[in-house]
Structure 1
Amino acid sequence: MLSLQKILLLHVLACLGQLAHGSDIIDGEKAPENSMQYMASVQNNNGHHVCGGFLITEDFVVSAAHCYNWTLTHVVLGNHNLKNGNHQKIKIENKTIPKNYIKVGLGNDIMLIKLLEKVQLNDRVQTIQLPPAEINLQENQVCQVAGWGKTKTGDNKPADELMVVDVSVIDKQVCNELWGDLPDNVTCAGGYETTKGFCQGDSGGPLVCDGLAVGVVSFNYEKNCNYPDKPNVYTDISKYRQWIDKVVKSRKYEE
Protein backbone atom coordinates (compact mmCIF):
# COMPACT_ATOMS: atom_id res chain seq x y z
CA MET A 1 0.00 0.00 0.00
CA LEU A 2 1.20 3.50 -0.76
CA SER A 3 1.50 5.75 2.26
CA LEU A 4 -0.63 8.86 2.56
CA GLN A 5 2.61 10.84 2.71
CA LYS A 6 3.69 9.56 -0.69
CA ILE A 7 0.30 10.19 -2.25
CA LEU A 8 0.40 13.74 -0.96
CA LEU A 9 3.98 14.13 -2.19
CA LEU A 10 3.18 13.29 -5.78
CA HIS A 11 1.91 16.40 -7.52
CA VAL A 12 0.42 15.62 -10.89
CA LEU A 13 1.89 17.08 -14.04
CA ALA A 14 -1.45 18.03 -15.52
CA CYS A 15 -4.67 19.01 -13.79
CA LEU A 16 -7.81 20.46 -15.41
CA GLY A 17 -6.65 24.04 -15.81
CA GLN A 18 -3.12 23.04 -16.73
CA LEU A 19 -4.12 20.59 -19.41
CA ALA A 20 -6.51 23.07 -20.93
CA HIS A 21 -3.66 25.49 -21.57
CA GLY A 22 -1.48 23.06 -23.52
CA SER A 23 2.14 22.10 -23.03
CA ASP A 24 5.71 22.97 -23.68
CA ILE A 25 9.35 22.51 -22.88
CA ILE A 26 11.52 24.42 -20.43
CA ASP A 27 14.74 26.01 -21.69
CA GLY A 28 14.33 24.46 -25.13
CA GLU A 29 14.28 25.67 -28.74
CA LYS A 30 12.01 25.37 -31.74
CA ALA A 31 12.13 21.94 -33.31
CA PRO A 32 13.70 22.08 -36.78
CA GLU A 33 11.29 21.78 -39.71
CA ASN A 34 10.84 18.23 -41.02
CA SER A 35 12.00 16.79 -37.69
CA MET A 36 9.96 14.79 -35.17
CA GLN A 37 7.26 14.02 -37.75
CA TYR A 38 5.72 11.54 -35.28
CA MET A 39 4.61 14.27 -32.84
CA ALA A 40 0.84 14.53 -32.32
CA SER A 41 -1.29 17.16 -30.63
CA VAL A 42 -4.23 15.49 -28.87
CA GLN A 43 -7.06 18.01 -28.87
CA ASN A 44 -10.61 18.62 -27.67
CA ASN A 45 -13.68 19.60 -29.66
CA ASN A 46 -12.74 23.29 -29.35
CA GLY A 47 -9.51 22.63 -31.21
CA HIS A 48 -7.40 23.26 -28.10
CA HIS A 49 -4.25 21.26 -27.43
CA VAL A 50 -4.80 19.05 -24.36
CA CYS A 51 -1.96 16.52 -24.34
CA GLY A 52 0.99 15.46 -26.42
CA GLY A 53 1.27 12.15 -28.19
CA PHE A 54 3.24 10.28 -30.84
CA LEU A 55 2.34 8.14 -33.81
CA ILE A 56 3.46 4.48 -33.62
CA THR A 57 1.40 3.01 -36.47
CA GLU A 58 -0.79 4.53 -39.17
CA ASP A 59 -3.78 4.39 -36.82
CA PHE A 60 -2.43 4.42 -33.24
CA VAL A 61 -1.07 7.26 -31.13
CA VAL A 62 0.53 6.82 -27.70
CA SER A 63 -0.20 9.36 -24.95
CA ALA A 64 -0.56 9.41 -21.13
CA ALA A 65 -3.32 7.59 -19.24
CA HIS A 66 -4.03 10.61 -17.05
CA CYS A 67 -5.27 12.39 -20.19
CA TYR A 68 -7.96 9.72 -20.65
CA ASN A 69 -10.88 11.44 -18.93
CA TRP A 70 -10.56 14.69 -20.83
CA THR A 71 -12.85 15.36 -23.75
CA LEU A 72 -10.43 14.23 -26.45
CA THR A 73 -11.93 14.26 -29.93
CA HIS A 74 -9.09 14.29 -32.47
CA VAL A 75 -5.36 14.43 -33.06
CA VAL A 76 -3.40 16.81 -35.25
CA LEU A 77 -0.27 15.65 -37.09
CA GLY A 78 2.06 17.01 -39.71
CA ASN A 79 2.82 20.54 -38.59
CA HIS A 80 5.03 22.02 -35.87
CA ASN A 81 2.90 25.18 -35.78
CA LEU A 82 -0.59 24.42 -34.44
CA LYS A 83 -1.94 27.70 -35.81
CA ASN A 84 -1.02 26.63 -39.34
CA GLY A 85 -3.86 24.71 -40.96
CA ASN A 86 -1.56 22.60 -43.14
CA HIS A 87 -1.93 19.40 -41.13
CA GLN A 88 -3.86 16.16 -40.83
CA LYS A 89 -6.74 16.29 -38.34
CA ILE A 90 -8.08 12.84 -37.54
CA LYS A 91 -10.91 11.87 -35.21
CA ILE A 92 -10.35 9.53 -32.26
CA GLU A 93 -12.23 6.23 -32.44
CA ASN A 94 -11.48 5.05 -28.89
CA LYS A 95 -8.86 4.98 -26.12
CA THR A 96 -7.31 2.21 -24.04
CA ILE A 97 -5.38 2.39 -20.76
CA PRO A 98 -3.94 -0.41 -18.57
CA LYS A 99 -6.54 -2.02 -16.29
CA ASN A 100 -4.36 -1.38 -13.24
CA TYR A 101 -3.97 2.35 -13.87
CA ILE A 102 -5.35 4.37 -10.92
CA LYS A 103 -4.03 7.93 -11.18
CA VAL A 104 -0.98 9.84 -12.31
CA GLY A 105 1.93 9.33 -9.94
CA LEU A 106 0.98 5.73 -9.16
CA GLY A 107 2.31 4.14 -12.34
CA ASN A 108 0.95 2.61 -15.59
CA ASP A 109 0.51 6.10 -17.02
CA ILE A 110 0.21 5.20 -20.69
CA MET A 111 -2.68 5.33 -23.18
CA LEU A 112 -3.25 4.04 -26.69
CA ILE A 113 -5.46 6.16 -28.95
CA LYS A 114 -7.11 4.37 -31.87
CA LEU A 115 -7.70 6.74 -34.79
CA LEU A 116 -10.90 6.58 -36.82
CA GLU A 117 -8.91 6.35 -40.04
CA LYS A 118 -5.33 5.78 -41.08
CA VAL A 119 -3.06 8.77 -41.40
CA GLN A 120 -1.28 9.47 -44.66
CA LEU A 121 2.43 8.95 -44.12
CA ASN A 122 4.53 11.46 -46.05
CA ASP A 123 7.48 13.82 -45.60
CA ARG A 124 5.59 15.59 -42.78
CA VAL A 125 4.05 12.64 -40.94
CA GLN A 126 5.92 9.50 -39.94
CA THR A 127 5.76 6.89 -37.18
CA ILE A 128 8.40 6.45 -34.49
CA GLN A 129 9.81 3.09 -33.48
CA LEU A 130 9.34 1.71 -29.97
CA PRO A 131 12.08 0.04 -27.92
CA PRO A 132 12.29 -3.73 -27.50
CA ALA A 133 10.92 -5.38 -24.37
CA GLU A 134 14.30 -4.91 -22.71
CA ILE A 135 16.30 -1.69 -23.01
CA ASN A 136 19.08 -0.34 -20.82
CA LEU A 137 19.39 3.42 -20.85
CA GLN A 138 22.72 4.69 -19.61
CA GLU A 139 23.07 7.30 -16.89
CA ASN A 140 23.69 10.75 -18.43
CA GLN A 141 22.61 9.49 -21.86
CA VAL A 142 21.29 12.48 -23.77
CA CYS A 143 17.70 12.19 -25.06
CA GLN A 144 15.03 14.64 -26.23
CA VAL A 145 11.55 15.62 -25.10
CA ALA A 146 9.21 17.87 -27.07
CA GLY A 147 5.84 19.60 -26.76
CA TRP A 148 3.67 22.69 -27.29
CA GLY A 149 2.60 25.46 -24.92
CA LYS A 150 4.05 26.78 -21.64
CA THR A 151 7.69 27.78 -21.40
CA LYS A 152 8.00 28.49 -17.67
CA THR A 153 6.34 27.79 -14.33
CA GLY A 154 3.06 29.64 -13.92
CA ASP A 155 2.93 30.83 -17.52
CA ASN A 156 -0.56 30.53 -18.98
CA LYS A 157 0.39 31.54 -22.50
CA PRO A 158 0.76 28.53 -24.79
CA ALA A 159 3.24 28.45 -27.64
CA ASP A 160 2.17 27.59 -31.14
CA GLU A 161 5.50 26.13 -32.24
CA LEU A 162 6.75 22.69 -31.25
CA MET A 163 9.65 23.02 -28.82
CA VAL A 164 12.35 20.46 -28.05
CA VAL A 165 15.07 20.17 -25.41
CA ASP A 166 17.89 17.76 -24.60
CA VAL A 167 17.61 15.98 -21.24
CA SER A 168 19.97 13.55 -19.56
CA VAL A 169 18.89 10.15 -18.23
CA ILE A 170 19.06 9.84 -14.44
CA ASP A 171 19.91 6.50 -12.86
CA LYS A 172 16.75 4.79 -11.55
CA GLN A 173 18.27 4.10 -8.14
CA VAL A 174 19.31 7.74 -7.77
CA CYS A 175 15.85 8.82 -8.92
CA ASN A 176 14.21 6.55 -6.36
CA GLU A 177 16.36 7.98 -3.60
CA LEU A 178 15.45 11.54 -4.62
CA TRP A 179 11.72 10.80 -4.80
CA GLY A 180 11.63 8.49 -1.79
CA ASP A 181 9.51 5.92 -3.61
CA LEU A 182 8.55 5.71 -7.27
CA PRO A 183 6.06 3.57 -9.18
CA ASP A 184 7.42 0.56 -11.03
CA ASN A 185 8.08 0.82 -14.74
CA VAL A 186 9.21 4.44 -14.93
CA THR A 187 12.25 6.26 -16.33
CA CYS A 188 13.77 9.53 -15.10
CA ALA A 189 15.39 12.23 -17.23
CA GLY A 190 15.86 15.96 -16.87
CA GLY A 191 14.56 18.32 -14.24
CA TYR A 192 16.84 17.64 -11.29
CA GLU A 193 19.80 20.04 -10.99
CA THR A 194 18.98 21.55 -14.39
CA THR A 195 16.55 23.99 -15.95
CA LYS A 196 15.81 21.61 -18.81
CA GLY A 197 12.78 19.39 -18.93
CA PHE A 198 9.02 19.35 -19.41
CA CYS A 199 6.35 21.52 -17.80
CA GLN A 200 2.67 21.33 -16.89
CA GLY A 201 0.47 19.98 -19.65
CA ASP A 202 3.28 18.41 -21.66
CA SER A 203 1.78 15.06 -20.72
CA GLY A 204 1.82 12.22 -23.20
CA GLY A 205 4.77 13.38 -25.28
CA PRO A 206 7.70 11.04 -25.94
CA LEU A 207 11.14 10.78 -24.40
CA VAL A 208 13.25 9.96 -27.46
CA CYS A 209 16.63 8.25 -27.11
CA ASP A 210 18.65 7.16 -30.15
CA GLY A 211 15.60 7.51 -32.37
CA LEU A 212 13.33 5.36 -30.18
CA ALA A 213 10.35 6.51 -28.12
CA VAL A 214 11.42 5.10 -24.75
CA GLY A 215 9.21 7.09 -22.37
CA VAL A 216 5.87 8.91 -22.01
CA VAL A 217 5.81 12.24 -20.13
CA SER A 218 4.06 11.51 -16.81
CA PHE A 219 4.76 13.89 -13.89
CA ASN A 220 7.17 16.30 -12.23
CA TYR A 221 7.44 17.75 -8.71
CA GLU A 222 5.14 20.39 -7.22
CA LYS A 223 4.53 22.01 -10.62
CA ASN A 224 8.10 23.39 -10.50
CA CYS A 225 9.43 23.50 -14.06
CA ASN A 226 12.27 26.02 -13.76
CA TYR A 227 14.32 24.66 -10.87
CA PRO A 228 12.78 21.35 -9.82
CA ASP A 229 14.07 19.52 -6.74
CA LYS A 230 13.42 16.11 -8.26
CA PRO A 231 13.79 14.49 -11.70
CA ASN A 232 11.09 14.46 -14.36
CA VAL A 233 9.36 11.07 -14.50
CA TYR A 234 8.27 9.14 -17.61
CA THR A 235 6.45 5.86 -18.15
CA ASP A 236 8.97 3.24 -19.34
CA ILE A 237 7.54 2.11 -22.69
CA SER A 238 9.74 -1.00 -22.91
CA LYS A 239 7.80 -2.51 -19.98
CA TYR A 240 4.53 -2.17 -21.93
CA ARG A 241 5.53 -3.65 -25.28
CA GLN A 242 3.42 -6.79 -24.89
CA TRP A 243 0.38 -4.75 -23.87
CA ILE A 244 0.88 -2.32 -26.76
CA ASP A 245 1.34 -5.09 -29.30
CA LYS A 246 -1.78 -6.90 -28.04
CA VAL A 247 -3.99 -3.80 -28.23
CA VAL A 248 -2.71 -2.75 -31.64
CA LYS A 249 -3.14 -6.24 -33.06
CA SER A 250 -6.66 -6.71 -31.68
CA ARG A 251 -7.94 -3.32 -32.88
CA LYS A 252 -6.12 -2.95 -36.17
CA TYR A 253 -8.11 -2.26 -39.32
CA GLU A 254 -9.13 -5.38 -41.20
CA GLU A 255 -7.52 -5.31 -44.61
Structure 2
Amino acid sequence: MLSLQKILLLHVLACLGRLTHVIAIIHGEKAPENSMQYMASVQDYNGHHVCGGFLITEEFVVSAANCDDSSLTHVVLGNHNLKNGNHQKIRIENKIIHENYQQVGLGNDIMLIKLSEKVKLGHGVEIIQLPPAEINLKENQVCQVAGWGTTTTNGEPVDELRVVNVSVINPRVCKEQWPGLPANVICAGGCGTNKGFCQGDFGGPLVCHGFAVGVVSFNYKRNCNYPNKPNVYTDISKYRQCF
Protein backbone atom coordinates (compact mmCIF):
# COMPACT_ATOMS: atom_id res chain seq x y z
CA MET A 1 0.00 0.00 0.00
CA LEU A 2 2.83 2.37 0.81
CA SER A 3 4.41 1.81 -2.57
CA LEU A 4 1.09 2.56 -4.25
CA GLN A 5 0.84 5.84 -2.33
CA LYS A 6 4.37 6.75 -3.33
CA ILE A 7 3.63 6.03 -6.98
CA LEU A 8 0.49 8.15 -6.77
CA LEU A 9 2.37 11.03 -5.20
CA LEU A 10 5.14 10.82 -7.80
CA HIS A 11 2.55 10.83 -10.56
CA VAL A 12 0.79 13.88 -9.16
CA LEU A 13 3.99 15.87 -8.62
CA ALA A 14 5.45 14.86 -11.97
CA CYS A 15 2.30 16.05 -13.73
CA LEU A 16 2.27 19.45 -12.08
CA GLY A 17 4.42 20.96 -14.81
CA ARG A 18 1.66 20.10 -17.27
CA LEU A 19 -0.97 21.56 -14.93
CA THR A 20 0.82 24.86 -14.96
CA HIS A 21 -1.61 26.89 -13.97
CA VAL A 22 -0.45 26.18 12.85
CA ILE A 23 2.07 29.29 12.72
CA ALA A 24 0.34 32.76 12.29
CA ILE A 25 1.29 35.82 10.30
CA ILE A 26 3.27 38.51 12.14
CA HIS A 27 2.95 42.19 11.19
CA GLY A 28 1.00 41.32 8.07
CA GLU A 29 -2.32 42.56 6.74
CA LYS A 30 -5.62 41.08 5.64
CA ALA A 31 -5.29 39.40 2.28
CA PRO A 32 -7.28 41.10 -0.50
CA GLU A 33 -10.58 39.28 -0.93
CA ASN A 34 -9.93 37.88 -4.41
CA SER A 35 -6.28 36.97 -3.91
CA MET A 36 -4.54 33.73 -2.89
CA GLN A 37 -7.53 31.59 -3.80
CA TYR A 38 -5.39 28.45 -3.51
CA MET A 39 -5.15 28.78 0.28
CA ALA A 40 -6.60 25.91 2.30
CA SER A 41 -7.47 25.59 5.98
CA VAL A 42 -6.77 22.08 7.27
CA GLN A 43 -9.24 21.46 10.10
CA ASP A 44 -10.14 18.92 12.80
CA TYR A 45 -13.44 17.17 13.49
CA ASN A 46 -14.59 20.14 15.57
CA GLY A 47 -14.11 22.52 12.66
CA HIS A 48 -11.08 24.20 14.24
CA HIS A 49 -8.27 25.46 12.04
CA VAL A 50 -5.11 23.41 12.67
CA CYS A 51 -2.75 24.15 9.79
CA GLY A 52 -2.52 25.83 6.43
CA GLY A 53 -2.21 24.21 3.04
CA PHE A 54 -2.54 25.02 -0.65
CA LEU A 55 -4.38 23.50 -3.58
CA ILE A 56 -2.16 22.11 -6.36
CA THR A 57 -4.73 20.05 -8.32
CA GLU A 58 -8.48 19.56 -8.07
CA GLU A 59 -7.87 16.61 -5.73
CA PHE A 60 -4.67 17.36 -3.81
CA VAL A 61 -3.57 19.86 -1.17
CA VAL A 62 0.02 20.25 0.02
CA SER A 63 0.71 20.88 3.71
CA ALA A 64 3.46 20.16 6.25
CA ALA A 65 4.14 16.69 7.64
CA ASN A 66 4.34 18.17 11.14
CA CYS A 67 0.62 18.96 10.81
CA ASP A 68 -0.32 15.28 10.58
CA ASP A 69 -2.74 14.34 13.33
CA SER A 70 -5.53 11.79 13.70
CA SER A 71 -7.96 14.62 14.44
CA LEU A 72 -7.64 16.11 10.94
CA THR A 73 -10.82 15.39 8.99
CA HIS A 74 -11.40 17.99 6.29
CA VAL A 75 -10.09 20.92 4.29
CA VAL A 76 -11.85 24.25 3.76
CA LEU A 77 -11.29 26.20 0.53
CA GLY A 78 -12.73 29.27 -1.09
CA ASN A 79 -13.09 31.72 1.75
CA HIS A 80 -10.67 34.14 3.38
CA ASN A 81 -12.95 34.41 6.42
CA LEU A 82 -13.29 31.01 8.12
CA LYS A 83 -16.40 32.18 9.99
CA ASN A 84 -18.20 32.77 6.71
CA GLY A 85 -20.03 29.64 5.59
CA ASN A 86 -19.65 30.37 1.85
CA HIS A 87 -16.86 27.88 1.15
CA GLN A 88 -16.09 24.33 0.04
CA LYS A 89 -15.59 21.90 2.91
CA ILE A 90 -14.16 18.60 1.66
CA ARG A 91 -13.33 15.46 3.61
CA ILE A 92 -9.74 14.20 3.74
CA GLU A 93 -9.48 10.79 2.11
CA ASN A 94 -5.78 10.13 2.69
CA LYS A 95 -2.60 11.81 3.97
CA ILE A 96 0.74 10.89 2.44
CA ILE A 97 3.81 11.79 4.49
CA HIS A 98 7.33 11.80 3.07
CA GLU A 99 8.85 8.47 4.03
CA ASN A 100 11.96 10.05 5.57
CA TYR A 101 10.11 12.53 7.76
CA GLN A 102 10.82 11.99 11.46
CA GLN A 103 9.97 15.22 13.24
CA VAL A 104 9.84 18.93 12.59
CA GLY A 105 13.29 20.47 12.35
CA LEU A 106 14.89 17.39 10.81
CA GLY A 107 13.73 17.97 7.24
CA ASN A 108 11.38 16.32 4.73
CA ASP A 109 8.51 18.24 6.30
CA ILE A 110 5.96 17.84 3.53
CA MET A 111 2.57 16.12 3.30
CA LEU A 112 0.19 15.52 0.42
CA ILE A 113 -3.52 15.46 1.27
CA LYS A 114 -5.85 13.51 -1.03
CA LEU A 115 -9.37 14.94 -1.00
CA SER A 116 -12.45 12.72 -1.09
CA GLU A 117 -13.84 14.57 -4.11
CA LYS A 118 -12.70 17.02 -6.73
CA VAL A 119 -12.75 20.70 -5.85
CA LYS A 120 -14.99 22.96 -7.91
CA LEU A 121 -12.62 25.54 -9.37
CA GLY A 122 -13.76 29.12 -9.74
CA HIS A 123 -15.95 30.99 -7.25
CA GLY A 124 -12.98 31.79 -5.04
CA VAL A 125 -11.00 28.56 -5.53
CA GLU A 126 -7.98 28.14 -7.80
CA ILE A 127 -4.85 25.99 -7.90
CA ILE A 128 -1.33 27.38 -7.55
CA GLN A 129 1.60 26.35 -9.70
CA LEU A 130 4.65 24.65 -8.32
CA PRO A 131 8.08 25.60 -9.68
CA PRO A 132 8.73 23.71 -12.94
CA ALA A 133 12.25 22.78 -11.78
CA GLU A 134 14.73 23.69 -9.07
CA ILE A 135 14.26 27.38 -8.50
CA ASN A 136 17.13 29.77 -7.88
CA LEU A 137 15.91 32.26 -5.29
CA LYS A 138 18.02 35.36 -4.82
CA GLU A 139 19.04 36.82 -1.49
CA ASN A 140 16.57 39.53 -0.36
CA GLN A 141 14.06 38.48 -2.99
CA VAL A 142 10.62 39.44 -1.67
CA CYS A 143 8.05 36.66 -1.39
CA GLN A 144 4.77 36.21 0.48
CA VAL A 145 3.52 33.91 3.21
CA ALA A 146 -0.10 33.74 4.37
CA GLY A 147 -2.20 31.95 6.94
CA TRP A 148 -4.86 31.96 9.63
CA GLY A 149 -2.42 31.48 12.50
CA THR A 150 -1.84 33.61 15.55
CA THR A 151 -0.38 37.10 15.34
CA THR A 152 1.51 36.86 18.65
CA THR A 153 3.27 34.07 20.56
CA ASN A 154 0.63 31.91 22.29
CA GLY A 155 -2.11 34.06 20.78
CA GLU A 156 -5.38 32.98 19.15
CA PRO A 157 -5.75 32.09 15.45
CA VAL A 158 -7.44 34.70 13.27
CA ASP A 159 -10.63 34.22 11.27
CA GLU A 160 -9.51 36.26 8.26
CA LEU A 161 -6.56 35.26 6.10
CA ARG A 162 -3.49 37.41 6.62
CA VAL A 163 -0.46 37.86 4.37
CA VAL A 164 2.98 39.41 4.79
CA ASN A 165 6.01 40.05 2.59
CA VAL A 166 9.21 38.27 3.64
CA SER A 167 12.71 38.43 2.19
CA VAL A 168 14.73 35.37 1.19
CA ILE A 169 17.81 34.81 3.37
CA ASN A 170 21.13 33.60 1.98
CA PRO A 171 21.49 29.84 2.72
CA ARG A 172 24.96 30.36 4.17
CA VAL A 173 23.67 32.98 6.60
CA CYS A 174 20.76 30.73 7.52
CA LYS A 175 23.08 27.82 8.32
CA GLU A 176 25.14 30.08 10.55
CA GLN A 177 22.02 31.00 12.49
CA TRP A 178 20.66 27.44 12.50
CA PRO A 179 23.41 24.91 13.35
CA GLY A 180 22.27 21.53 12.04
CA LEU A 181 19.84 23.07 9.57
CA PRO A 182 18.35 20.24 7.48
CA ALA A 183 18.86 20.02 3.73
CA ASN A 184 16.24 20.99 1.18
CA VAL A 185 14.94 24.08 2.94
CA ILE A 186 14.46 27.78 2.20
CA CYS A 187 14.92 30.53 4.77
CA ALA A 188 12.88 33.73 4.56
CA GLY A 189 11.76 36.26 7.13
CA GLY A 190 12.18 36.16 10.89
CA CYS A 191 15.86 37.01 11.09
CA GLY A 192 16.54 40.66 11.87
CA THR A 193 12.94 41.57 11.04
CA ASN A 194 9.54 41.55 12.72
CA LYS A 195 7.77 39.88 9.79
CA GLY A 196 7.11 36.19 9.26
CA PHE A 197 4.87 33.36 10.35
CA CYS A 198 3.62 32.14 13.72
CA GLN A 199 1.73 29.13 15.15
CA GLY A 200 -1.19 28.06 12.96
CA ASP A 201 0.54 28.92 9.67
CA PHE A 202 2.42 25.62 9.33
CA GLY A 203 1.75 23.97 5.99
CA GLY A 204 1.01 27.19 4.13
CA PRO A 205 2.95 28.23 1.02
CA LEU A 206 5.91 30.53 0.52
CA VAL A 207 4.97 32.21 -2.76
CA CYS A 208 7.59 33.78 -5.04
CA HIS A 209 6.76 35.12 -8.51
CA GLY A 210 3.41 33.30 -8.42
CA PHE A 211 4.88 29.87 -7.60
CA ALA A 212 4.50 27.96 -4.35
CA VAL A 213 8.20 27.37 -3.71
CA GLY A 214 8.14 26.46 -0.01
CA VAL A 215 6.01 24.95 2.76
CA VAL A 216 5.94 26.67 6.17
CA SER A 217 7.91 24.31 8.44
CA PHE A 218 9.33 25.78 11.65
CA ASN A 219 10.56 28.82 13.54
CA TYR A 220 12.64 29.23 16.70
CA LYS A 221 10.97 27.42 19.60
CA ARG A 222 7.57 28.55 18.26
CA ASN A 223 8.55 32.07 19.29
CA CYS A 224 6.88 34.74 17.16
CA ASN A 225 8.61 37.67 18.87
CA TYR A 226 11.43 37.13 16.41
CA PRO A 227 14.77 36.29 17.94
CA ASN A 228 17.67 36.33 15.50
CA LYS A 229 16.71 33.10 13.72
CA PRO A 230 15.26 32.81 10.22
CA ASN A 231 11.91 31.19 9.45
CA VAL A 232 12.36 27.86 7.67
CA TYR A 233 10.35 26.38 4.79
CA THR A 234 10.55 23.03 3.00
CA ASP A 235 11.91 23.58 -0.53
CA ILE A 236 9.21 22.08 -2.78
CA SER A 237 11.45 21.92 -5.84
CA LYS A 238 13.58 19.27 -4.10
CA TYR A 239 10.61 16.90 -3.84
CA ARG A 240 9.14 17.04 -7.32
CA GLN A 241 10.68 13.74 -8.48
CA CYS A 242 11.92 11.90 -5.40
CA PHE A 243 8.77 10.54 -3.71
Question: TM (normalized to structure 1)?
Answer: 0.85
Structure 1 position 39 matched with structure 2 position 76: no
Q: For the residues of structure 1 that align with 2:221 and 2:50, how far apart are their CA atoms?
A: 20
Q: For the residues of structure 1 that align with 2:105 and 2:149, how far apart are their CA atoms?
A: 22
**Cα distance, 1:214 vs. partner?**
0.3
Deviation track 1:193-237 (CA, whole Å, cap 9, x = no partner) reads 000000012110000000000000000002221222200000000
Contact 1:145 1:207 in 2 (8 A): yes
Matched AA of 2:68 = Y
Matched AA of 1:30 = K
**Cα distance, 1:158 vs. partner?**
1.9
Structure 1 range deviating more: 28-37 or 65-74:
65-74
Aligned partner of 1:203 in structure 2 is 202
Aligned partner of 1:57 in structure 2 is 57
- Matched residue count: 222
Aligned partner of 1:236 in structure 2 is 235
The 5-angstrom pairing of residues 174-189 of structure 1 reads 174-189=173-188
The 5-angstrom pairing of residues 86-165 of structure 1 reads 86-155=86-155, 157-165=156-164
- Following superposition, which runs of at least 4 residues in structure 1 exceed 4 angstroms of deviation? none
> Any stretches of 5+ residues in structure 1 without a counterpart?
1-21, 245-255
Contact 1:53 1:62 in 2 (8 A): yes
RMSD: 1.1
Give the fraction of aligned pairs with identical amino acids, expressed as a percent: 76
Q: For the residues of structure 2 that align with 1:132 and 1:49, how far apart are their CA atoms?
A: 30
Q: Residues 73 and 243 of structure 1: is their aligned pair in 2 closer, same or farther, counting only changes over 3 Å?
A: farther
Q: For the residues of structure 1 that align with 2:135 and 2:123, how far apart are their CA atoms?
A: 29
Q: For the residues of structure 1 that align with 2:61 and 2:115, how far apart are their CA atoms?
A: 8
Structure 1 range deviating more: 111-120 or 221-230:
221-230
Structure 1 position 67 matched with structure 2 position 75: no
Matched AA of 2:216 = V
Aligned partner of 2:17 in structure 1 is none
Contact 1:133 1:240 in 2 (8 A): no
Q: For the residues of structure 1 that align with 2:101 and 2:207, how far apart are their CA atoms?
A: 23
Contact 2:49 2:200 in 1 (8 A): no
Question: TM (normalized to structure 2)?
Answer: 0.89
Matched AA of 2:207 = V
Q: Residues 243 and 55 of structure 1: is their aligned pair in 2 closer, same or farther, counting only changes over 3 Å?
A: farther
Q: Residues 78 and 24 of structure 1: is their aligned pair in 2 closer, same or farther, counting only changes over 3 Å?
A: same
Aligned partner of 1:249 in structure 2 is none
**Cα distance, 1:97 vs. partner?**
1.0
Deviation track 1:9-32 (CA, whole Å, cap 9, x = no partner) reads xxxxxxxxxxxxx54200000000
**Cα distance, 1:129 vs. partner?**
0.1
**Cα distance, 1:243 vs. partner?**
4.1
Q: For the residues of structure 1 that align with 2:226 and 2:111, how far apart are their CA atoms?
A: 29
**Cα distance, 1:130 vs. partner?**
0.1
Structure 1 position 166 matched with structure 2 position 165: yes
Q: For the residues of structure 2 that align with 1:239 and 1:223, how far apart are their CA atoms?
A: 25
Contact 2:59 2:118 in 1 (8 A): yes
**Cα distance, 1:87 vs. partner?**
0.1
Q: For the residues of structure 2 that align with 1:243 and 1:130, how far apart are their CA atoms?
A: 15
The 5-angstrom pairing of residues 6-25 of structure 1 reads 22-25=22-25
Contact 1:105 1:219 in 2 (8 A): yes
Contact 1:147 1:164 in 2 (8 A): yes
Contact 1:24 1:201 in 2 (8 A): yes
> Any stretches of 5+ residues in structure 2 without a counterpart?
1-21
Q: For the residues of structure 2 that align with 1:161 and 1:60, how far apart are their CA atoms?
A: 23
Aligned partner of 1:217 in structure 2 is 216
Q: For the residues of structure 1 that align with 2:70 and 2:162, how far apart are their CA atoms?
A: 23
Contact 1:153 1:226 in 2 (8 A): yes
